[in-house]
Structure 1
Amino acid sequence: MDKIVAFSGTLREKGIPVSIRSTHAGKEVSKLIDEEDPLFKSALAAVYVKEQRQRESFNQVFDEFFEGVVADGEEEGDEGTSSKASDKNVWSKSSQKWVITNQEDDNSEVKAPEIHSSEFNYHPPLEDYKEETPSDSELLRRDINTLNSFEPELFLLCQKMGKKIALVRSRRQRQAKIMRPDVRRTIRKNLQNGGALIDLVKSKPRIKKNQHFFLNDVSGSCDWISNWFFCLLYAAQNSFRRVRVFDFDNRCVETTSAMAEPDMMEAFIKVRDILHKNLMVHGTSNMYQAFESFLGKAQLNRRSTLMILTDCRDWAGPKVDGIPQSAELVEKMSRKCRKVMILNPEERKKWDVVDSCVSHYRDAGAEIHEVRNLNQLALLVRDL
């Protein structure tokens, strides 16, 4: 048991998360399989390794801990330093002090080996090019501007977060469907029993007919975050009763049909195909035209919730006395909808700078939320 506990501690030092349950499971594995068995390593890996990228670190720790195997460079370095230390540093038991003796090295017989040009490698090893992959929690907290939009781990992470959002929302909906006792109907029904409560009558749950509209800015300044927003919505779509998704730059197009695809990557490809067919690739924002087109396609009412992902920079939209005309359309949508939320990926200090329309949209009745990381984005979608 002590050996497994020490092994778990070593794994934690190497950055592999190990819980008490994993340590207990490792102890049970050590009881069932002997350390000399070749399957012992695979069995422990099944307990401790939660992600494939942790396997290499696990193998290294296992070899050093159970088999005493050390990397060649470290082993040679340890032998060289230990031999030098044995020559120069001597521990005196009588004085309880280190006695350091300086010895002169005889370099007369030492000859440096010749190095041919063909043997010299001018390129660093591949390990130097490898960067350590950050954990999921670190990616969720990292600033959106520093994330790589082509990193496949981000799409998988968004899909995982979307499933968690769907789980939380479905749990909340189940709790809302738990019917509360209707006191008036219960007493009326049990009057024939002399007032003794025999049959409990519960109230019927209210049927919510909310409809959610998601409007994504796919212009050049917001295209990178709209991809992750779509991944979250795709994974969490089953928790919403009715969902319609639109993309816009200087025009607006509906992409709800892509949500019906069985695979997330197929849905993502279909969205890209729709945008290419409508010539919406790194376009310029004209929110007046886009919002006007959206109002013509969507039937908004007091049961509608509208969420807009945009940096509120109306580059090409018309303005009157410095006020963008798109703010009038935002006010119109705010009057029609139950709630209008704008998710802004820009820093708060950049709001209302140059052509930013944040204050105008806020005055029009929209709620403005700063979204600086994926975790904030997921929480806002979850609490709808």
Structure 2
Amino acid sequence: MDKIVKLSGLLREKGIPASVRSTQTATEAYKILKKDSKENENVLRDALAAIYLKDKRQFPTFKETFDSIFSPEESDTAKETEEKITDSSKKRSNSKMFLKVYNYSFKVLEPEKGKPEKSDVDGIDYMPPLDENLQNPFDESELLQRDITQLNSFEPELLDLCQKLGRKIANRRARRLNESRNMRPDIRRTMRKNLKYGGTLIDLVRSKPKIKKSEHIFLNDISGSCDWISSWFFCMVYTAQTSFHRAKTFDFDNKTIETTSALEEPKLLDAFVKVRDLRQKSSMIHGTSNMYTAFKSFQSQVNINNKSYVLILSDCRDWAGPKSGKKPLSAEVLEEIARRAKRVVVLNPEPRNKWNVVDSCVSYYEDAGADFFEVRNLVQLADLVTKL
């Protein structure tokens, strides 16, 4: 028991999460697999690794910690052998120096070895990518709180994180839906029904749950400034799509394409690849924003009604859109969309102090009827989607 508690403490110090439940499970496993041979020790190590570890790249750190607690003799013998090797090498070097000084009757001098010239390649400190990942395991909390505009490269860890956030969104929305379906007492109908009993409460009448047939439409900006942000956002929507009624996804830069077909893929990675492929086939790679033509194209593809929730992920910088004076014409198109839809929500990944600066159209879109929210990291993005 003491060894397991000590192991949990050391693992926490080295950045490996070890909860109370994991410690209890490890204690039960230790009672069953108490080591009495080398084979049982390996089985115990693998069993505890299966309990504690959630990432296989943390196994070297776990193995070192496990050996320091359960096999201290081996680590001590390893240190002793290293010390013996260093002592023997010192003695050998001392004997050579002695022969070099006292070489009267015989000369036992080692031939001078020519020093090889150091090439430019030798100066390169090359480290394989696998070693880098082993030495620097990713920090999940750091990725969740990192500025969302800096998540501009493909990382498998981000796919996993977006999948976890998508599951949280789906679970929270499902819980909220179940609570709304619980039939609450209808006070007015209960009082009217119990008048025949002289006002005594005998029969309780419950209200019928409202059937919601809302439609969620996700419109993602994939111009150069929001390309990767929209990709991670799509991963969340893919995982949480079961909690949205009739969800549809669209991508836009200077035109709009529908990517709803990617939601039907069986795996997240396949859906991610299909979205990138659809963008490439439509020549929408690092395009320039023209929100007027994009919103016009969006209007022609979607039948927006009073049950439609339109969620736009964009920094609202209409670089190439036409303007009437200083007002962008895209604001008029968005006003028409907001008038027909139930609600239009814009998630802006830029800091709030950069809104309405240079070509930012935030104030014009707010006047058009859109609700704006600032999203600076993945956690904020997931929380706002959950509240829809």
Question: TM-score normalized by structure 2?
Answer: 0.83
In the TM superposition, what are the counterparts of 1:180-329 in structure 2 within 5 Å?
A: 180-190=184-194, 197-329=201-333
Deviation per CA, 1:170-196: give whole Å up to 9, x if none: 010000000012234345545666665
Separation of aligned partners in 2, 1:349 and 1:381: 23
Judge which range, 118-127 or 323-332, deviates more: 118-127
Higher helix share: 2
Separation of aligned partners in 2, 1:175 and 1:366: 28
SS in 1 for 2:240: helix
Q: Which runs of no fewer than 5 residues in structure 1 stay unpaired? A: 84-104
Deviation per CA, 1:156-213: give whole Å up to 9, x if none: 2111110110011001000000001223434554566666544432110111122111
Per the alignment, do residues 139 and 335 of structure 1 end up closer, same or farther by CA in structure 2, a change over 3 Å counting? same
- Residue of structure 1 in register with 2:58 after alignment: 54
1:343 correspondence with 2:344 = no
Per the alignment, do residues 110 and 126 of structure 1 end up closer, same or farther by CA in structure 2, a change over 3 Å counting? farther
- Residue of structure 1 in register with 2:20 after alignment: 20
Separation of aligned partners in 2, 1:258 and 1:352: 34
Q: Are the aligned partners of 2:223 and 2:253 in contact in 1 as well (CA < 8 Å)? A: yes
- Cα drift, residue 78 of structure 1: 8.9
SS in 2 for 1:126: coil
Per the alignment, do residues 291 and 33 of structure 1 end up closer, same or farther by CA in structure 2, a change over 3 Å counting? same
- Cα drift, residue 291 of structure 1: 0.5
| Residue identity opposite 1:17 in structure 2 | P
Count matched residues: 361
Per the alignment, do residues 310 and 71 of structure 1 end up closer, same or farther by CA in structure 2, a change over 3 Å counting? farther
1:31 correspondence with 2:31 = yes
Instruction: Tell me how large the CA RMSD over aligned residues is.
Output: 3.1
- Residue of structure 2 in register with 1:380 after alignment: 384
Deviation per CA, 1:334-372: give whole Å up to 9, x if none: 222222111111222222222221222122221222211
Separation of aligned partners in 2, 1:304 and 1:317: 25
Deviation per CA, 1:316-349: give whole Å up to 9, x if none: 1001112211111122222222221111112222
Separation of aligned partners in 2, 1:191 and 1:145: 63
| Residue identity opposite 1:255 in structure 2 | T
Q: 1:147 aligns with which of 139, 151, 172?
A: 151
Per the alignment, do residues 31 and 285 of structure 1 end up closer, same or farther by CA in structure 2, a change over 3 Å counting? same
- Cα drift, residue 125 of structure 1: 6.6
Per the alignment, do residues 70 and 110 of structure 1 end up closer, same or farther by CA in structure 2, a change over 3 Å counting? farther
- Residue of structure 1 in register with 2:160 after alignment: 156
Judge which range, 2-11 or 180-189, deviates more: 180-189
Separation of aligned partners in 2, 1:343 and 1:110: 79
- Residue of structure 1 in register with 2:175 after alignment: 171
Per the alignment, do residues 231 and 71 of structure 1 end up closer, same or farther by CA in structure 2, a change over 3 Å counting? farther
SS in 2 for 1:214: strand
Judge which range, 343-352 or 126-135, deviates more: 126-135
Deviation per CA, 1:99-121: give whole Å up to 9, x if none: xxxxxx99964989979649996
- Cα drift, residue 289 of structure 1: 0.5
1:126 correspondence with 2:127 = yes
Judge which range, 200-209 or 46-55, deviates more: 46-55
Separation of aligned partners in 2, 1:71 and 1:269: 51
Separation of aligned partners in 1, 2:57 and 2:17: 12
- Residue of structure 2 in register with 1:330 after alignment: 334
- Residue of structure 1 in register with 2:103 after alignment: none
Separation of aligned partners in 1, 2:348 and 2:61: 39
Per the alignment, do residues 188 and 321 of structure 1 end up closer, same or farther by CA in structure 2, a change over 3 Å counting? closer
SS in 2 for 1:203: coil
1:11 correspondence with 2:11 = yes
- Residue of structure 2 in register with 1:89 after alignment: none
Separation of aligned partners in 2, 1:295 and 1:71: 73
- Cα drift, residue 224 of structure 1: 1.1
Per the alignment, do residues 119 and 357 of structure 1 end up closer, same or farther by CA in structure 2, a change over 3 Å counting? closer
Judge which range, 276-285 or 230-239, deviates more: 276-285
